[in-house]
Amino acid sequence: MREVLRDVEAWRAAGEPVALATVIETWGSAPRTAGSKMALTASGRIAGSVSGGCVEGAVVEAGRETLRTGRPQRLHFGVADDTAWAVGLACGGSIDVFVERLEGKSFDPLRDAVLAERAAAAVTVVEGPEPLLGRKLLLFDDGRTHGSLGPELDGAAAGAAREALAAGEARRVRRDAVELFAEPLLPPPTLVAVGGVHIAVALVALGKTLGYRTVVVDPRAAFGSVERFPGVDRLVTAWPDEALRDLGLNAATAVAVLTHDPKLDDPALQVALPSPAFYVGALGSKKTQEKRRRRLLESGLTEEQLSRLHAPIGLPLGGRSPEEIALSILAEITATRRKA
């Protein structure tokens, strides 16, 4: 949703109806994951992607038809289908795409949640009787719901929405002849760099490219300055332990501790390691890590908490420049986040 939101809002403001195509199922080497979106208008405007280019043309035609008729469609493209070869999906996978006309009554609450960086889930009927097709139920992080699929399906839909939010991944649920697609809409992940060093400059720039909300923490104003980090989302000039507590680390947070100074690194790790952050890494050699480990155990951290620490930080890519080291750190963060 986030990748097409700006374009969709501009088109709607101009009075153009919008069709939304969503990947709802993939097999094999399909290029986009479930939940990937493409928005389009009858005039030929396109935002986002459902296949990296393989089947976009066919989806656009289906979207234009849906805008004309108002009827949602479920499309299937697979390597065994003549249609798939014709549109270019010859890479060894297959995808199902659901195409629907965007309706403000269900889209606007989701848009508001995305802009407020609050979690929500949308459950859509993607297969079933025509009167139900495309109907939605929305579940928000405070437990509120919006819309209804009917008394027979609302319970299953809410359950699927909660599961999708908890897992951070889309879910499909079948009830007799009806199939539901539950899609979580989560706030962007956050990358916190402790220490405004050269590696952090490259790290937050790369993090922004990968869609992270970026934060730099450094009590030294000369290091944590706007001049050094012009594109960062937030600069915090406070001691790391205080700053990380105030930030409220959660399961969508990665913390990279980079100062190489125990006076700053240790307090940061004392807060980050017991937190729900999905990744905590610290710069330093194996010898440095062993000394740090002893200090942190003496400070009261447990062996279990210390086992979460990625140290030395980053995948062993052999990089030497700040940019190469930043790449190795983001690679390890990505592998951890995706459970690779």
Most confident of 48-57, 79-88, 273-282: 273-282
Range of lowest pLDDT (185-189, 245-249, 263-267, 288-292): 185-189
Q: Are residues 258 and 240 in the same domain?
A: yes
Q: Are residues 241 and 324 in the same domain?
A: yes
* pLDDT tens digits for range 198-215: 999 999 999 999 989 999
Q: Give the percent of the chain with pLDDT over 90.
A: 72
User: What pLDDT score does 3 carry?
Assistant: 85
**Last residue within a domain, chosen from 167, 185, 203:** 185
User: What pLDDT score does 53 carry?
Assistant: 65
Query: pTM of the prediction?
Result: 0.71
Q: Are residues 262 and 276 in the same domain?
A: yes
* pLDDT tens digits for range 100-143: 999 999 999 999 998 888 889 999 999 999 999 999 999 998 88
**Last residue within a domain, chosen from 41, 70, 101:** 101
Mean pLDDT taken over the chain = 90
Q: Are residues 224 and 333 in the same domain?
A: yes
Residues 6+ apart with CB under 8 A from 319: 325, 327, 328
- How far apart, in Å, are the Cα atoms of 215 and each of 3, 266, 272? 21, 18, 14
pLDDT above 70 (res 89): no
Q: Are residues 112 and 234 in the same domain?
A: no
Range of lowest pLDDT (44-53, 87-96, 146-155): 87-96
pLDDT band at 29 (very low <50, low <70, confident <90, very high): low
User: What pLDDT score does 87 carry?
Assistant: 47
Q: Tell me the C-alpha distance between 325 and 323, whole Å.
A: 5
Q: Are residues 50 and 148 in the same domain?
A: no
Q: Are residues 203 and 314 in the same domain?
A: yes
Q: Are residues 181 and 194 in the same domain?
A: no
* pLDDT tens digits for range 157-174: 999 999 998 888 899 999
**Last residue within a domain, chosen from 79, 101, 123:** 101
User: What pLDDT score does 91 carry?
Assistant: 52
Q: Tell me the C-alpha distance between 309 and 303, whole Å.
A: 10
What are the strands of the beta sheet with 46-48, ordered from one edge?
46-48, 37-41, 18-28, 93-101, 73-78
Q: Tell me the C-alpha distance between 200 and 57, whole Å.
A: 41
Q: Are residues 315 and 247 in the same domain?
A: yes
Give the Cβ contact number of residue 250 at 10 Å.
13
Q: Are residues 206 and 317 in the same domain?
A: yes
The answer to whether 247 touches 274, Cβ cutoff 8 Å, is: no
Angle formed by the axes of helices 104-115 and 2-13, nearest 10°: 130
Omega cis (within 30) before 312: yes
User: What pLDDT score does 182 carry?
Assistant: 96
Q: How many domains does the chain have?
A: 3
Write out the DSSP string of 263-321: HHHHHHHHHHTTS--SEEEE---HHHHHHHHHHHHHHT--HHHHTTEE-S-S------S
User: If we measure between CA atoms, which residue out of 229, 231, 206 comes closest to residue 331?
Assistant: 206
Q: What is the domain extent for residue 249?
A: 190-337
CATH of the domain at 265: 3.40.50.720
Q: Are residues 177 and 218 in the same domain?
A: no
Q: Are residues 196 and 306 in the same domain?
A: yes
Q: Tell me the C-alpha distance between 330 and 282, whole Å.
A: 13
